[in-house]
Structure 1
Amino acid sequence: MKRTVAFLLILTVLVAGVTGCGSTTKVTEQVINLGGIQPMTGGAATFGASGKNGATMAVEEFNTAGGATVDGVKTTINYINEDDAGSPEVGASAAQKLINQDKVIGIIGPLMSKVSLAVALIAQAAGVPMISHGSTATQVTLVGDYIFRACFIDSFQGTVMANYAWNTLKVKTAAVLYDNGNDYNKGLAEYFKAGFEKNGGKVVAFEAFTDEDKTVDYKAQLTKIKATNPEFLYLPNYYAAVALQLKQAREMGLNVPAGGGDGWDSPDLVKIGGAAVEGGVFSNHFSKDDLSPKVQAFVSAYTTKYRAAPDALAALAYDAAGLFLDAFKTAGSIKGSDIRDAMKNTSFSGVAGVYKFDENRDPIKAAVILQIKNGQQTYLTTIQP
């Protein structure tokens, strides 16, 4: 989509200078808009807050470092964050507002795959680059060539946990309980099942429910699962639902090891689930315990600024915004196609990994396995792609 100076918020400073002939020098600085779409309310609200924080921090650092130069003009960024409430419809409205009213040059987010699929159609049609920090459903980037992501995809994440359950936990049977109304949950469930069975394991129960934001009683599905005597319980859902599912499972005597995906990564998992989530393992994109100087500098700066340690979604949003802004600076242009092309060819080192995109604009990255131990996330191992 063509972007002109008319779309920009311009700050013009006139400086009068006297030379041998006498002249007036015109110095122009411009501020352009970058959009963000996060679930600031709803069942994934803690992720939305983290994502907003991470993206905001990256933008502030970019501006402090001098921004970019576009047609000889110093250019800095104004970040506008919109709430999608975990709803595709709300997310689509937010995208329309950001693109048509705010004239953003790109969108960071959304987080949830079901929302990203709705927003991606709008961004692609408008020629506005979008980079989701947390949407792991495989089909998100297949919408079009303006759509990127900063996270690994569900085919990798689901298989990682299937391999971990088989090779490390040495279990032979597993049960799955998932939300069939969300592409993220459903995708992880299917990839885990395929990977586990490929290893030689047996998925003895594959139970579904609809809409984890509204469902609070999982006893019917858990009763069916318990009757199959699984050795492992895979819950590819978000933290609030997982906490309730494990509390109800433990109450009925279903005390087998449990695991899941990056949707577990919230302090509210332990706050809600308490002792029921202890020992659970999950795949994730980032560990604050990574000792690399870059990660520790980020953790320190984030913790100082927000008075809480960053989770994976904070790190991914920080990287997504940083990667986008790096491509924008390289392109030296506000045209969506120029920024897109620079992003395709990027080689960006972030706090949640090194980013180089494949043909579908998905990064090839490692995953970490974390465990809830004594109420805290504990790093176990890193799994390479």
Structure 2
Amino acid sequence: MVKKTWLKGIGLFLSLAMLAGCSGQSKPTAGAGQDSNEIVIGANFELSGDVATYGTSSLNAAMIAFDEINAKGGINGKKIRVVKYDNKSDKTESMNVATRLITQDKVSAIIGPVTSGNTLGVVPVVNSKKVPVLTPTATHPDVTIDPNTKKVNEYVFRACFIDSFQGKAAAEFGLKKGKKAVVLVSQADEYSKGLAKFFKEGFAAGGGTILGEEAFNKDDNDYRAILTKVKSQEPDVIYLPAYYEVVAKVVKQARELGIKAAFVGGDGWDSPKLVEVAGKDVLNNCFFTNHYTPEDPDPAVQSFVKAYKEKYGQTPDALAALAYDGARLLADAIQRAGSTEPEKIKEALAATKDFPAITGKFTLNENHDPVKDIVIIELKDGKQVVSEKIKSK
């Protein structure tokens, strides 16, 4: 009798233990289970693949910011621990990384990805899991506004201006170079198509004429057929919203064909690889919209440039500057929230006002987009020179 009672007791204990275990695994909570002395932030960046230089410079800069914060005691007495993954410059992998960071690593927030396409892959994940993501550099409007519902993506924020402003600023500048333009678009790239759309709208509204639009594949190596057609149209301006690896090939081949028109592009041009591949002489009479210049004499900018050069041996590009700002903005929101709970961090991000970024002080608007100025960069013998600044509208 005693033996049977003992066995029943053991059975009841095991059953309760199993139920408790199942209950604990059913609803993993982001930010939960973190060490009381640390804040866990996820990093989802393109460290290999097509835009690896962007992802690498962005992660490098973000880590400088987090290290600086930790060196000063962390956030509200807690140190930041960063969990880093490579999304391989791929939309599906970006989604997988976001899921892993939230469900397995229990991060309180995520910084990255870099590109608009990869960030759009992350949006449904963070919205469903209710964990904020801050992309430093994804400029497509759909990143923060759902194109179907027209509602704000509640858990998505960014530190960069958006393509509607960037494309129209490029058009405003392009009209100073001439009234006739041709647009070259990467057909499978949301970033390129978005910028092209807003450039065309702005150029036409300003009294310019779009002579034509030509689509290309970003994996092409020979663009001469398209460029021969462009040459026959005799444009004053060629708008090329693409990433640096394509821009270098297109501009080089255009100059070889005798095309002398001004090339204008977006922030995707900003990489030291552009000059390395194209050559400095080829890039004269080329301009692009950007977020900052390392030549800015502002002490905060120069402090960042110095720190980056000392650690990584090269000048930080605009994406690095935005990632540095993005990391600091995320830390600032966590401090203001006074919590590692994703929901409270999200609320603090949405309330950001007059943030002192090195890419220009900004306030996040109701769409979670920063209101900030834009810089027009001219390439002169391979060096970046500020041509002008266009005020946010």
Identify which of 256, 259, 265 aligns with 1:254.
259
Which residue in 1 is equivalent to 2:33?
A: 7
**Native 8 Å contact 2:110 2:133 kept in 1:** yes
C-alpha separation in 2, matches of 1:78 and 1:4: 14
Q: Secondary structure at the match of 1:305?
A: helix
Which residue in 2 is equivalent to 1:124?
A: 127
Aligned-residue offset at 1:5: 7.6
Runs of 4+ in 1 over 3 A off after TM superposition: 1-6
Which residue in 1 is equivalent to 2:370?
A: 363
Aligned-residue offset at 1:308: 1.1
How many residue pairs get aligned? The number is: 358
**Native 8 Å contact 2:29 2:103 kept in 1:** no
**Native 8 Å contact 1:2 1:335 kept in 2:** no
Which residue in 2 is equivalent to 1:145?
A: 154
Identify which of 287, 297, 320 aligns with 2:303.
297
C-alpha separation in 1, matches of 2:369 and 2:320: 19
C-alpha separation in 2, matches of 1:47 and 1:220: 29
Which residue in 2 is equivalent to 1:13?
A: none
Identify which of 51, 55, 69 aligns with 1:48.
55
**Partner amino acid for 1:292?**
D
Which residue in 1 is equivalent to 2:385?
A: 378
**Partner amino acid for 2:247?**
V
**Partner amino acid for 2:362?**
Y
Structure 1 residues 3-27: Cα deviation after superposition (integer angstroms, max 9, x where no partner): 588521x3xxxxxxxxxxxxxxxxx
Which residue in 2 is equivalent to 1:25?
A: none
Q: CA, structure 1 residues 368+6, in 2 after alignment: closer, same or farther (shift >3 Å)?
A: closer
Q: Secondary structure at the match of 2:253?
A: helix
**Native 8 Å contact 1:67 1:329 kept in 2:** no
Which residue in 2 is equivalent to 1:92?
A: 95
Aligned-residue offset at 1:64: 1.2
Q: CA, structure 1 residues 4+283, in 2 after alignment: closer, same or farther (shift >3 Å)?
A: closer
Which residue in 2 is equivalent to 1:26?
A: none
Which residue in 2 is equivalent to 1:14?
A: none
**Native 8 Å contact 2:42 2:101 kept in 1:** yes
Aligned-residue offset at 1:303: 1.4
**Native 8 Å contact 1:257 1:280 kept in 2:** yes
C-alpha separation in 1, matches of 2:298 and 2:39: 33
Aligned-residue offset at 1:382: 1.2
C-alpha separation in 2, matches of 1:346 and 1:6: 25
Aligned-residue offset at 1:311: 0.9
After alignment, is 152-161 or 91-100 more displaced?
91-100
Q: Which has the higher strand share?
A: 1
Identify which of 176, 193, 197 aligns with 2:200.
193
C-alpha separation in 2, matches of 1:234 and 1:331: 43
**Partner amino acid for 1:379?**
V
C-alpha separation in 2, matches of 1:299 and 1:333: 31
C-alpha separation in 2, matches of 1:117 and 1:175: 28
**Partner amino acid for 1:126?**
K
Q: CA, structure 1 residues 6+122, in 2 after alignment: closer, same or farther (shift >3 Å)?
A: closer
Say if 2:241 is the partner of 1:215. Answer: no
**Native 8 Å contact 2:30 2:103 kept in 1:** no
Structure 1 residues 333-376: Cα deviation after superposition (integer angstroms, max 9, x where no partner): 11111001111111211111112111100000100011111111
Which residue in 2 is equivalent to 1:173?
A: 180
Give the TM-score taking structure 2 as reference length: 0.88
C-alpha separation in 2, matches of 1:106 and 1:328: 9
**Native 8 Å contact 2:267 2:289 kept in 1:** yes
Q: Secondary structure at the match of 2:141?
A: coil
After alignment, is 289-298 or 228-237 more displaced?
289-298
**Partner amino acid for 2:162?**
I
Q: CA, structure 1 residues 344+6, in 2 after alignment: closer, same or farther (shift >3 Å)?
A: closer
Aligned-residue offset at 1:289: 1.2
Consecutive unaligned residues in structure 1, runs of 5 or more = 11-28
Say if 2:54 is the partner of 1:75. Answer: no
Aligned-residue offset at 1:220: 2.3
Which residue in 2 is equivalent to 1:163?
A: 172
Which residue in 1 is equivalent to 2:22?
A: none
C-alpha separation in 1, matches of 2:75 and 2:137: 26
C-alpha separation in 2, matches of 1:191 and 1:4: 37
Aligned-residue offset at 1:277: 1.8
Matched ranges for 1:259-274 at <5 A: 259-274=264-279
Q: Secondary structure at the match of 1:68?
A: coil
Q: Secondary structure at the match of 1:349?
A: coil
C-alpha separation in 1, matches of 2:234 and 2:378: 23
Q: Secondary structure at the match of 2:347?
A: helix
**Native 8 Å contact 1:3 1:334 kept in 2:** no
Say if 2:65 is the partner of 1:39. Answer: no
C-alpha separation in 1, matches of 2:282 and 2:50: 19
Matched ranges for 1:326-345 at <5 A: 326-345=332-351
